Structure formats: C-alpha cells, structure tokens
Amino acid sequence: APEPLRDHKPQQAPRGPARPSMAAALPALALGAGLLVAAWRWLWGAARPRRGGSMRGKTVIITGANSGLGRAAAAELLRMQARVIMGCRDRARAERAAREIQAEVGERADDAGELVVRELDLASLRSVRAFCHRVLQEESRLDVLINNAGIFQCPYMKTEDGFEMQFGVNHLGHFLLTNLLLGLLKNSAPSRIVVVSSKLYKYGEINFEDLNSEISYNKSFCYSRSKLANILFARELARRLEGTGVTVNSLHPGIVRTNLGRHVNIPLLAKPLFNLVSWAFFKTPLEGAQTSIYLASSPDVEGVSGKYFGDCKEEELLPKAMDDLVARKLWDISEVMVGLLKKKAEVKEKTEKKAPQINILPRNVEYQAVIKEKACLSDEHNQQCSLPPCDIVPVPGPSENFIKSNKTLTLAVIPLVSQVRHPELD
C-alpha cells in the first residue's frame, strides 16, 4: 500500500553567526570616536592651559567659583599668583572647593596667590549689595571681575525679588554686581570685566513685553535670552566705559562637562550613552575656562573691549547681539528692575539742592519773581513792581533755577527784582 502523505517543510539554510544590532553597535562607535577625539586633543595640545602673565598683586572676583568653569579659572589664576575672591551662594561648598583647589595647586605659600571665600547669592539683590559693600570696605583694588555664575534651563521659579530665575541670576544679578563695583574697577584701571555667555544666545530674543516670563515660559528660550542679555550688557557697558581704562568682553566657553545641566532630564537608559558622548566630545572644565583665563590675564587683549570671544579668539556676533538700541533699552529697564535708577535719582536730587543750576534770563521778556509765595512782575526796562512790594529774601549770588512758561519766567527765589541780571546779558 502506498505510504500516507506527510507534510514536508522546506529545508532552511544553515544560519551564520548572529549580526550585532545597530543599538548594540552605537556605544562601540561612540567609544571609538571618543578615543580619536581624545587622541587629537592630546596631540594638538587642546587640553593644555593657555596662561597669561603673572597676576601677582592683582585681585580677581569670580562668581560661581566653587564648581565647573569658575573653579577651574580660580585654580589657574591662583597658580598665576592672583588674589582670588570666590563669590559663591553656598559658603560650605565654596570653602570645601577652596581647600581642594589649594591642595591641587600644592605650591609654596610665597609662590601661589591667595584664595578668599565670600557669600554671594545672585538670586538675591540684597545679597549682591551686601557682597559689594564688604568688597568695597575690605579691598583696596579690583583688577578683574569675571561674571561666570549661571543657572541653566531650570523649571519656572522666581528669585527673592520676584524675577524669573534664569534672567534674574544670569543677567540682573550680574548687572547690579558690576555696577556697584564699577567705581573700584575704575580706580584700579587698567582693569577688566569678563562676561561668560553662551553660543545658545543665537536662539534667544529680548521680549520687552515679557522680560519676567509671566505670560509664557520656555526654559530653553529663557536661558538663551539671558545669554543674549549678557552680550548686550557687555557691549553697552564697554561703550559707557570708553576712555576709563576698564575693558569689557564677553565669551562662550563651548560645550563643557559641568553640573550646569542638572535641571536637564535625561532618560535613565540613555544616561550611559550620554555620559560616554559627553566624555568624548565635551570640554573639560579646565578647557572650557581657557577663554575666561585668557581675557582675564593675557597681555594680548590689553585695551581690547566690546568684543566676543571663543576658544581664545575673537568671533563674529549675529546682528541681534549687536543692536545698540536694544542694548540701551535693556540697560535702562535693568536699572529700574534692580533699583539703580531710583538711587541715581536720589543722588541727583541731593546734588541739585546743594548746587542749583544757573540759567540765563533772556532779554526783553517779562519775568515773575516768586518770593515767599508772593509775586512781583517787572520788565527789563523799568524794573518796577506793578504789584504791591514783596518780601525780599537775600540769596548769595545768581544761583536761581529759571523755568520758562510761555513768555513768563518763574523764578524759585531771587535777591531783588532789580538785581536779576547776569554778566552774559550785558
């Protein structure tokens, strides 16, 4: 009998060795690329610091000097024998960092500089004023101010004074700090101001209708806006300080491995790959701090002001970062926000009371003399009061303020109607 039919399956070709998946290959590729980048940096000396001359006898303030770029800059400037004041929010962390820096420098006390820790919270205008008050009391000179501290893409929160955190810390805090220390910097000229910005300024816009991000908030955009504000501030300050001997320059450090991105959420599974990529392609803090150190110490940039640097070289800015009208408007608004404008108005008012302006009384116009709230009318020819006599208040010299109103001039006080003359009128 014929055999029953059976199901026959086609024979499969023998399998070869399993091929690695693309996901498994990515770490290997990243590691290989990282090794190549590390080798290139070593061969071309990218990791070697570029020091300027000796900083002996010079005082440097660095904000945010307990970690990252600020810490690296503090260590290098200490090696260059500078007196470095670390302005930091957390005093305990700053003192720990100072001990570590001094241990790393490891040089004899007479060869190294001096490291000083001072509390400074840029999210508090009160703290900024207290820091500056102490500096002005204790320091006889200030040669370099490095505005380094910053906060990066944090959730929406406000400073002690009610400002959006990134704009408040990155721009307004440093704006007030710099203005309060300008007198000491001018007295110490030639001196330098270094403003640490970011390449991400390119994605920011200055929206004067919502500087405090109360209408809308995007943490990436707000960071970029604060970095654009840094550049505009530096350029406007450089313009205002022309001829004083104080130079102002801004910079970007590049992409650096620091704790600045602590508010950036990276998926847990992606962290190993991110760490590998950052190790391979990001700068170390010392590499990132090189442009700050260069602008603070190098004789190559003596007298250079109002420029933007990266990798110790001058770079071009986008037009929006060179808009002088926006820079001046931002300056004026920042003065109001941090309370500088009110202080200036008070000082001006006191000065005017002590030494009033002298304005010249024009010829052939009627004028009115207001004395003890009584009035006299006269003209230049007859110099007689057409109203009953007034009480006369003697004033030493022509120190009156004249305010023109139509064809009549109102005088605050005058000695005698007949004596209201000025040598330039004769």
Mind telling me the catalytic residues? 223
Q: Which residue has the tokens 């908030």?
A: 217
DSSP conformational letter for 241: T
What number of residues does the chain have?
426
What is the spatial distance between Cα 101 and Cα 106, in angstroms, rounded to a whole number?
8
Q: How many CB atoms lie within 10 A of CB 370?
A: 14
SS3 state at 85: strand
Give Cβ neighbours of residue 355 (< 8 Å, ≥ 6 apart): 399
DSSP conformational letter for 59: E
CB 170 within 8 A of CB 213: no
CB 291 within 8 A of CB 309: yes
How do 144-147 and 313-314 pair as beta strands? Answer: unpaired
Give Cβ neighbours of residue 257 (< 8 Å, ≥ 6 apart): 278, 279, 282, 283, 284, 285
DSSP conformational letter for 200: G
